[in-house]
Structure 1
Amino acid sequence: MTCARDPLSVQRYKPVLIVLHGEHSTSGRIGRLLRELGAPLDIRRPRFGDPLPRHLGDHSGAVFFGGPMSANDEEDWLKREIDWLAAPLKENKPFLGICLGAQLLARQLGQKVDAHPEGKVEVGYYPIHPTEHGHCLCDSPFPTRVYQWHREGFDCPKGAVLLAEGEDFQAQAIKVGDKAFGLQFHPDVTYEMICRWTITSLDRIDHPGVQSRQRHIDGWFQHDRSIARWTVEFLKRWLGAPEFDGRIAPAE
C-alpha cells in the first residue's frame, strides 16, 4: 500500500482511501483532482493482500474503483470489500464507488447485480438521463453522455436516491444518505487510459453494444470536457471544498 503525496500541493485534508482492483491500475483523473484539492491518496489493493482500515477516522473518505472481475465473484477479498462498505455508511464518511465500486455498494445494500437479459454491455460512450436529484447535485450540469466499460448493472437499491438512469442499465448514478455515491460510469478515465484499455482489452469483448476503438477516441473529444467540468464540481462537493472554485483544471 502506498500514500501518494504531491510535493507541489498543500495538504488540506486527511488522506482519501483509494481502492484499486488491478495490479497496474491507477486512480486516473479522480486521483489527480483529489491531490490538487489537497487530499493525499492512501492507495491500497486488497486483491493483492493490502488490508483495509478498520474505520475511516484517519481518512477524509474512500473511493473504490472498477476492475475486470464481477461483483458476484466468490473470492474472499471481494466479499471483505462488500462487508467493509458498511463502515463509511455507518460513519457517514464520503464514499464514492466507480463502476465495480458502485456495484459493490449496491450489493452491500442488498441489491442484485446482473448481466443484461439480452447480453448487452456498455463499452464506450453512452447516453444517460439525469433525474431531478441529479440535476441539483452540484454547480455543473450533470453529463448526459459518459464513458462506460461494464457488462453487469443494477437497479436503484432500496433507500438510495437515483441521480441518473441509463437506457439498458437502470442505475447509472445513486446517492445513499448524505455522502455515499455510486457511479456506474467512469469519470476517472483519461485519454491515456482509453487508449490503453482499447488496445489491451477491447478485442476480448464480443457482446451487443460494444463500440469500436475509433468511437471511443472520437467520444473523448466530443464529450470529455463536460464530464471533466462536472467531475471537478462533484469532487469539491463530495470532499467539502467549495472554497477552491477555479483553482483546479478539469482537463487531462
Structure 2
Amino acid sequence: MRPVLILQHEAAQGPGYLLQCLQSKDVPVHLLRPDQGEPLPRQMSAFSGLVVLGSDHSVHDRLSWIGAEQALMQDALRLSRPVLGHCFGAQQLARAMGAAVHRNPRPDIGWRELWITPTARSLFGGQDHLLSFNWHYDSFQIPIGATRTLFGQHCLNKGFALGPHLGLQSHLEITEHGLRQWCAEGRQALRTGRSLTVQSESEILSALPERLARVRAAAGCLYQHWIGQLALPPVFGRLRAA
C-alpha cells in the first residue's frame, strides 16, 4: 500500500491515537511539517490518503504553506484519495470543497459532549453522542453534497463526511502527553479567555484516563472506517474540487 501522508503543524498536535490505529493495520506513514519549511509534494499520486492535523494558525492566514496544502488537498480530492482533517485540517478540507470558514461566535476550548447525527452513527460504533476535546476559534460551513456527522452546543458544525473524506472540528486523536503539552503552551490563552466556553487547565486535565478511554472508543471506530477506505480503488469524478 502507498503511505498515508500526514501534515503536522504544532508539536503538541501530533497524530497521536490515529497513528497508533494506522500502525496497528501496518499502514505506512510519511509525516511532514510544512509550517517548519518542509516541502510538500505537488501531487497525491504517491500516497493512499491525506491527514491534515490542527494548527494555531487560521486557514485565512497568508502563509505559503497554507496555500500549498490547499492545492495538495484539491489534488487528493481530484484523485479520490481519502482525506481526514482534524480542526484546522477540517477547515482546510471544507475550503477545498468550496465551503466557507468563519469565526465562531466564541472560542470552543475544552471537553465537550457532541451529538452524532443518525446517518453517521455507524461511523462511531452505533453511539448517538461522544466525548471530544476541542480547541478552536473558527468554524466551517458544511460543504455542498456533504452530510453533517457531529454537532455541538457551542459550535453547530463539528463534523462532516463526503464519500471517503472526513472533517472533524475536534481532536479525537489527542493523547495525554500531547494534551498536557498543549495546555502548558496555551496556558496564557486559557487564563485570559476563561469563560463559559473556555475551560481552565485544571478542568481540562482532570479525569484524563477515563476521558481518553471514552474518546478512543468512538475514535477507534471512525479511524478504522477511514483506514478501510485507503485500500479501495479510487472513484474518479466522485467529487469535483472547488
TM range (shorter): 0.7 to 0.9
> For 1:183, which of 168, 184, 189 is the aligned residue?
168
Distance between the aligned counterparts of 1:229 and 1:142, measured in 2?
13
Does 2:49 match 1:61?
yes
The equivalent residue for 1:201 is 186
* Matched residues, number: 226
Q: 1:37 to 1:75 in 2, by over 3 A?
A: same
Q: Deviations over 1:209-232 (max 9, x none)?
A: 210112112253343212202222
Deviations 1:165-199 (A, max 9, x none): 112212111012x2111001101110111111112
1:106 is aligned to 2:94: yes
Worse overlay, 50-59 or 155-164: 50-59
Distance, in Å, in 2 between the alignment partners of 1:154 and 1:24 is: 23
1:28-107 correspondence to structure 2 within 5 Å: 28-107=16-95
Q: Which residue of 1 aligns with 2:116?
A: 130
Which residue identity lines up with residue 231 of structure 1 in the other structure? A
Distance 1:146 1:219 in 2: 13
Aligned AA (2:206): D
Q: Find the aligned partners of 1:49 and 1:200 in 2 and give their Cα distance.
A: 21
Partner of 2:148 in structure 1?
A: 162
Secondary structure in 1 matching 2:123:
coil
Unaligned runs of 5+ in 1: 1-12, 242-252
Query: Secondary structure of the residue that 1:151 maps to in structure 2?
Result: strand
Quick one: distance in 2 between partners of 1:142 and 1:96?
A: 21
Shift of 1:143: 4.6
How far residue 14 of structure 1 moved from its aligned partner, in angstroms, is 2.4
* Structure 2: tracts of 5 or more residues without a match: 230-242
Report if aligned partners of 2:110, 2:204 keep a CA contact under 8 Å in 1.
yes
Partner of 1:213: 201
- Kept in 2, the 8 Å contact 1:14–1:40? The answer is yes
Equivalent runs, 1:225-240 vs 2, <5 Å = 225-240=213-228
* Amino acid of the structure 1 residue aligned with 2:178: M
Give how far 1:140 is off: 5.2
| In structure 1, C-alpha distance between the alignment counterparts of 2:116 and 2:167, rounded to whole Å | 14
Counterpart contact for 2:117–2:149, Cα < 8 Å: yes
Rounded to whole Å, the distance in 2 between the matches of 1:154 and 1:222 is 30
Higher relative contact order (CA 8 A, sep 6+): 2
2:232 maps to which residue?
Answer: none
Number of the residue aligned with 2:159: 173
Contact (CA 8 Å) 1:155, 1:170: kept in 2 or not? Answer: no
- Shift in Å at residue 54 of structure 1? 3.2
Asked if residue 15 in structure 1 is aligned to residue 12 in structure 2, the reply is: no
- The residue number in structure 2 matching 1:7 is none
Task: Report the 3-state secondary structure (helix = DSSP H, G, I; strand = E; otherwise coil) of the residue aligned with 1:171.
Answer: coil
Superposed CA deviations along residues 62-92 of structure 1, whole A, max 9, x for unmatched, are 1000011011111121112122211121111
Quick one: which amino acid aligns to residue 139 of structure 1?
G
Q: 1:34 to 1:136 in 2, by over 3 A?
A: same
TM-score normalised by L of structure 2:
0.86
